[in-house]
């Protein structure tokens, strides 16, 4: 979910191309749904086909939902950025990746108000913002998925290859910054088609991306691969190996760590799998038109809207899954609350003292995972 990611999982804003016998109510601003369609409805459907129920659903559901996701995700991710920027230095690869993940989520979330307004009032922001918002959305989608993959690999190295990770600590920290830069560059390159082919229509009411030829099918395939299958495969391998390693340990906290791993993987699958399944259908349809009746088209529209909304929730959950579960984060959060006067010095010491006496085992190396695994 975009980290939400978060899959072309473009925010729903949507128009559907005009078709013969298709009522004018369908021409709403729902660009993500429209961009998924590789054909003109005039060439596919015949007879009257009303899309008013989809339009009504978009206008009533999308704006409030997007604003809720924006507000909740913004608070959590801005807290992570403030924490890493002002209250702690970068100690390991995970810290670098988590800061970049929070920034990517924030940039994605900042595109949602545009899509919310678009769903309600049509696109009113002009051609330049159309290209910018769509391109920025795609950059942050790809960067989020790639960063989640990097975090999984880093946890694997830190726990399964703990001794080697400690000996290469300084080099690994430098490598993480270089890898983060590569992630952002890769995300920008993958997003160039959206900058190039996004524009408003003649009436300036719709912002849409029209890919030439088979570029649409290729774009869908790349998005599904990088947006789901690659991160999922890496997560399964890394976290299953980590689980096997933890099961060999004798600590009483290992069961809690395994539960956290299960939560991370489950949330990713539950939030991303439904939408990416729809994207596979869309990819097949882009290559060889398989949706040829009005009812099926509208069902796919509704499925796209709902599963995409579920996928967007991942950007709100990332701070909780990857940062807030860490013991060290809770200590730093208490420090922030103490600095702004929400917690007294006495309360701060009483809470911090039990944790400061706990000595981390070598399995955690010097990461933020401890046995609660800030994965």
Which residues in 245-271 are b (16+ Cβ under 10 Å) and which e?
Answer: bbeeeeeeebebbbebbebbbebbeeb
Contact 301, 56 (CB under 8 A): no
Q: State whether residue 199 is helix, strand or coil.
A: strand
pLDDT at 337: 76
* Gap between the Cα atoms of 175 and 182, Å rounded: 10
Predicted model pTM: 0.78
Say what the pLDDT of residue 252 is: 55
Q: Residue 156 is encoded by which pair of tokens?
A: 């694997």
Distance, CA of 45 to CA of 98 (rounded, Å): 47
Rounded-to-integer distance, Cα 103 and Cα 80, Å: 9
pLDDT of residue 179: 93
From CA 2, how far away is CA 194, in angstroms rounded? 15
* Alpha helix ranges (H) inside the chain: 31-35, 52-82, 93-109, 112-121, 126-160, 162-167, 169-197, 215-224, 230-248, 254-287, 294-312, 314-319, 327-339, 345-356
Question: What is residue 15's predicted lDDT score, i.e. its pLDDT?
Answer: 41
Q: Which residues contact 43 (CB under 8 A, 6 or more apart)?
A: none
Which domains, from first to last, does the chain contain?
24-372 (1.20.1070.10)
Say what the pLDDT of residue 341 is. Answer: 73
Distance of CA 55 to the CA centre of its chain: 25
Q: What pLDDT does residue 200 have?
A: 87
Contacts of 25 (CB under 8 A, 6+ apart): 50, 51, 52, 55
Tokens 């990819």 belong to residue: 283
pLDDT by 10s per residue, the chain, length 375 = 445 444 444 565 444 333 333 333 333 334 444 343 333 344 444 455 666 777 888 888 889 999 999 999 998 899 888 888 877 666 678 888 889 999 999 999 999 999 999 888 888 888 899 999 999 989 988 999 999 899 899 888 888 887 777 777 667 777 888 999 999 999 999 999 999 998 887 665 788 888 887 787 788 788 888 888 999 999 899 999 988 888 887 665 666 777 777 788 888 888 888 988 888 887 777 677 777 777 888 888 888 889 988 988 888 888 887 766 666 777 777 777 777 777 677 776 776 665 554 444 433 434 444 433 544
Q: How far apart are CA 43 and CA 18, in angstroms?
A: 10
Q: Distance between CA atoms of 97 and 179, rounded to whole angstroms?
A: 9
Rounding to the nearest 10 degrees, give the CA dihedral for residues 86, 91, 96, 99.
-30
Q: At what angle do helices 294-312 and 254-287 cross, to 10 degrees?
A: 150
Contacts of 209 (CB under 8 A, 6+ apart): 8, 10, 31, 35, 134, 193, 194, 197, 198
Residue 44: closest CA among 19, 79, 81, 72: 19
């Amino acid at each position: 979910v975009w980290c939400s990611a978060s899959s072309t999982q473009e925010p729903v804003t949507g128009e559907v191309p005009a078709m013969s016998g298709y009522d004018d109510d369908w021409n709403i601003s729902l660009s993500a749904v429209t961009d998924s369609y590789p054909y003109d409805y005039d060439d596919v459907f015949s007879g009257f086909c009303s899309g008013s129920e989809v339009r009504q659903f978009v206008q009533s559901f999308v704006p409030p939902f997007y604003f809720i996701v924006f507000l909740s995700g913004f608070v959590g991710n801005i807290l992570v950025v403030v924490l890493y920027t002002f209250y702690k230095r970068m100690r390991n690869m995970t810290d670098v990746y988590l800061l970049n993940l929070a920034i990517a989520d924030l940039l994605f979330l900042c595109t949602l108000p545009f899509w919310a307004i678009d769903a309600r009032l049509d696109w009113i922001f002009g051609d330049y913002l159309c290209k910018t918002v769509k391109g920025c959305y795609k950059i942050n989608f790809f960067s989020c998925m790639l960063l989640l993959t990097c975090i999984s690999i880093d946890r694997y190295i830190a726990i399964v290859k703990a001794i080697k990770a400690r000996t290469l600590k300084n080099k690994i920290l430098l490598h993480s910054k270089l890898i983060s830069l590569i992630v952002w560059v890769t995300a920008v390159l993958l997003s160039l088609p959206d900058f190039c082919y996004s524009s408003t229509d003649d009436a300036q009411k719709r912002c849409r991306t029209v890919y030439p030829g088979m570029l649409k099918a290729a774009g869908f395939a790349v998005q599904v691969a990088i947006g789901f299958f690659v991160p999922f495969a890496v997560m399964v391998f890394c976290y299953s190996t980590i689980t096997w390693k933890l099961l060999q340990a004798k600590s009483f906290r290992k069961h809690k760590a395994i539960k956290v791993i299960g939560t991370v993987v489950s949330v990713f699958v539950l939030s991303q799998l439904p939408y990416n399944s729809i994207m596979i259908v869309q990819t097949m349809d882009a290559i060889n038109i398989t949706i040829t009746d009005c009812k099926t088209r509208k069902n796919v529209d509704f499925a796209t809207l709902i599963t995409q909304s579920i996928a967007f929730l991942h950007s709100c959950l990332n701070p909780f899954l990857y940062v807030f579960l860490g013991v060290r984060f809770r200590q730093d959060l208490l420090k922030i609350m103490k600095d702004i006067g929400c917690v007294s010095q006495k309360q701060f010491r009483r809470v911090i003292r039990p944790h400061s006496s706990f000595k981390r085992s070598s399995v955690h190396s010097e990461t933020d995972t401890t046995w609660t695994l800030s994965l």
